[in-house]
Structure 1
Amino acid sequence: MSTDTKTYKFNHSMIRVKDPKESVKFYEHLGMKMIRKVEQSEAKFDLYFMGYDSSGAISSGNHFSNREGLIELTHNYGTEDDPNYKVSTGNADPYKGFGHTCISVDNIQAACQRIEDAGYKFQKKLSDGRMRSIAFVLDPDGYWVEVIGQNPVEKTEGVTTTDTKTYKMNHTMIRIKDHEKSLKFYKEVMGMELFRTSENASANFNLYFLGYPGKDGIPTTSANGVNPTAEREGLLELTWNYGTEKDADFKYHNGNDEPQGFGHICISVDDLDAACKRFEDLGVNWKKRLTDGRMKSVAFVLDPDNYWIEVIQNENLKESQHKI
């Protein structure tokens, strides 16, 4: 058995939602399409996989396991009728951990205006604060969705049109305690490459953008100086706040302990058995091995901050017994 990390894809990020109709409607407004729906009526939950699928999308028409930048919405039956149910978005103390997903758009001013015209609320508008090149819109559950431009803001000023067919699911952000440990894990264990580092010493934090290059390599930067990785999809942003690694008692909330919200990130691999054997040989901490439980088609690895990483078979790369 062999496995090549260059074939791996950052397939999806999972978040729990209260009302799937409202959530699907929101992500469809952002230009996404429901790529796949999995109904688990016996276990009383459904999964909705949302992603960009226009003719210009990077993964257009692909099998869901052969894509990057999907968002999996998990709905547990009955939450939509429970007035007391709400998710933990990962951005409020003491449950910070998951930060946001991010889409990149052709024209950020027009895209934000279109979102606002639809009645959706913002955590941060373009005009708020000092950073005028990014915005954060709130989904129906209050999760943050960052909006960045594929073009510099000065070039799109005054342009009133935006085409959702050009949008990309650019990245998912999680906060990390120890940048050295996390970078080592995601590079050496998960096989990702570090594409960009944004150091913000005056604000005491750094950002690290990682992803899979693909077998033939994908350009990692564009001419957009503010967001040079805006043309990519399926990146992982690690946010490190200085000093957290020195606090023995400090930890982030992984979204799966109560109160729940964010669930996991997921990578698809060329050979699931071989990939899991490699992870085992590297001494990873497991949440679930392939052989555990009834679901023999998925495994879950724990990263240094106890975030869950699902591992699935890329069905385009191998006919497998592990179909999901």
Structure 2
Amino acid sequence: MTDTSKYKFNHTMLRVKDPQASVKFYKHLGMSLVNKFEFPDNKFDLYFLAYDSPKSVSKDNHWTDREGIIELTHNYGTENDPNYKPHNGNKEPQGFGHVCVSVDNIQAACKRLSDAGYRFQKKLEDGRMHHIAFALDPDDYWVEIIAMNPVDKTENVTETDPSTYRMNHTMMRVKDKDVSIKYYEDVFGMKLKRTSENKDAGFTLYFLGYGPASPQESANGVNPSADREGLLELTWNYGTEEKEGKVYHDGNSEPQGFGHICVSVDDLDAACKRFEEKGVNWKKRLTDGRMKNVAFILDPDGYWIEVIQNEKYKSAPGKY
């Protein structure tokens, strides 16, 4: 048996050019390197970063028993290739949008990033939305910055504590919001936590995840789930559901960048049997290839969803 209430939205994978520069950036955002896997025979390494301070949600948890991890994939040699640049998903062809970090005092947090020499796609003062910013990591992936505290009360606060930050959500664009929401609810057991309509701009945001429901009212007047980790934000641009064929880029066909999201489960074999019964579209079954302890499923837009064993519940065969 498998219990979807024990599932976790474990990580989001991004390909990077220079792992030293990327790890340094995410550490500056308060994250810690909680695991690293080296595959010299296959010429790539994986770096797993998460919030791991005493103030974090999952301090000292096994890496498979967390939400809000960022996995950086480095293919050997890219750091010395002048022509290599990961695709950030916001330039054409679009698909993946961003990861998001929620912070204590957003003005001070953004200044700290700027003072360290990091760039912004959108600063707080840009545009109409003065409660969010978008930083750029070394590969130009967008990192949304949102506030956990009321924005109007932190304007004159000069201190920020990165150990309190959260890796709040990962955003992907979807063609048909009804199809995608039903899929993540029915197949992966996620729940719709919050909806944010932006009718004037022609899009709506849907936030799904595990765990308790998000409060309906917001502490900061903007985002009632800013203190959460491990949310999946689906962005639906009005009218895309009427288009023929595939609308969005999965990040794994060229040009590559974003790779996948990952859900950890209580019983990997039982979960995969349940997925089979649900009629999912497999990219890789457990029995395929050499790695018998990971599976990959394709969602309705073709995004890859990795499925792994949560070691808290059961020892997975072999080493991931």
TM-score by structure 2 length?
0.98
Is the CA contact (8 Å cut-off) linking 2:246 and 2:301 kept in structure 1? no
Cα pair 2:296 2:304 within 8 Å, conserved: yes
1:118-168: per-residue Cα shift (whole Å, max 9, x none)?
A: 000000000000000000000000000000000121011100000001000
Deviations 1:79-132 (A, max 9, x none): 000000001100012x10000000000000000000000000000000000000
Q: Is the 8 A contact 1:100 1:174 kept in 2?
A: yes
1:320 is displaced (CA, Å) by: 2.9
Name which of 267, 271, 277 aligns with 2:273: 277
Q: Equivalents in 2 of 1:264, 1:56: separation in Å?
A: 28
Match of 2:138 among 120, 140, 146: 140
Between the aligned partners of 1:59 and 1:102, the Cα distance in structure 2 is 17
SS at match of 2:302: coil
Alpha-carbon distance in structure 2 between the residues aligned to 1:274 and 1:249: 33
Selected match of 2:151 from 146, 153, 156: 153
Return the alpha-carbon distance in structure 2 between the equivalents of residues 188 and 156 of structure 1: 40
CA shift for structure 1 position 224: 2.7
Alpha-carbon distance between aligned partners in 1 of 2:319 and 2:82, rounded to the nearest angstrom = 37
Aligned with 1:299 (options 284, 295, 306): 295
* Shift, 1:218, TM fit: 6.2
Do the aligned residues in 2 keep the contact of 1:101 with 1:144 (CA within 8 Å)? yes
Which residue number in structure 1 is paired with residue 15 of structure 2?
16
Q: 1:99 is matched by which residue type in structure 2?
A: G
CA distance in 2 between partners of 1:79 and 1:158 (Å):
42
- CA drift at 1:321: 1.8
Letter in 2 for 1:104: S
Residue 46 of structure 2 corresponds to: 47
Structure-2 separation of matches of 1:319 and 1:163 = 36
How much has 1:219 moved relative to structure 2?
Answer: 5.0
- Matched residue of 1:273: which SS? helix
Residue aligned with 1:206, SS? strand
| CA-to-aligned-CA distance 1:160-205 (integer Å, 9 cap, x gap) | 0000010000000000000010000001111100000001111110
The reply on whether 1:233 has 2:232 as its aligned counterpart is no
CA distance in 2, matches of 1:320, 1:63: 13
Task: Give runs of ≥4 in structure 1 deviating > 6 Å.
Answer: none
Aligned position for 1:254: 250
**Cross-structure match for 2:111:** 113
CA distance in 2, matches of 1:129, 1:178: 28
CA distance in 2, matches of 1:106, 1:34: 21
Is 1:30 paired with 2:26?
A: no
The total of aligned residue pairs comes to: 319
Q: C-alpha root-mean-square deviation of aligned residues, in Å?
A: 1.0
Deviation, structure 1 residue 323: 4.2
State the secondary structure of the residue aligned to 1:37. Answer: strand
How many angstroms apart in 2 are the aligned matches of 1:220 and 1:7?
Answer: 21
- 2:160 is aligned, of 156, 159, 162, to 162
Mapping 1:168-183, distance limit 5 Å: 168-183=166-181
Task: Go from structure 1 to structure 2 and tell me whether the alpha carbon gap of 1:117 and 1:259 turns closer, same or farther (over 3 Å shift).
Answer: same
**1:319 positional shift:** 2.3
Counterparts of 1:49-64 in structure 2 under 5 Å? 49-64=48-63
Deviation digits for residues 257-293 of structure 1 (CA, Å, limit 9, x no counterpart): 0010000000000000000000000000000000000
Provide structure 2 residue ranges, at least 5 long, that are not aligned to the other structure.
none
Deviates more, 1:152-161 or 1:74-83: 152-161
Shift of 1:223: 2.0
Match of 1:82 in 2: 81
What is the TM-score of this pair, normalised by structure 1? 0.97
The aligned amino acid for 1:156 is T
Counterpart of 1:312? 308
Query: How many angstroms apart in 1 are the aligned matches of 2:251 and 2:64?
Result: 23
Tell me, in whole angstroms, the C-alpha distance in 1 between the residues paired with 2:15 and 2:215: 30
Q: Which amino acid aligns with 2:294?
A: V
- Identity score, percent: 68
Gaps of at least 5 residues in structure 1 are: none
Match of 1:268 in 2: 264
| In 1, Cα distance between equivalents of 2:318 and 2:222 | 41
Q: 1:55 to 1:81 in 2, by over 3 A?
A: same
Q: In 1, Cα distance between the equivalents of 2:245 and 2:304?
A: 20
Q: How many Å separate the matches in 2 of 1:39 and 1:319? A: 21
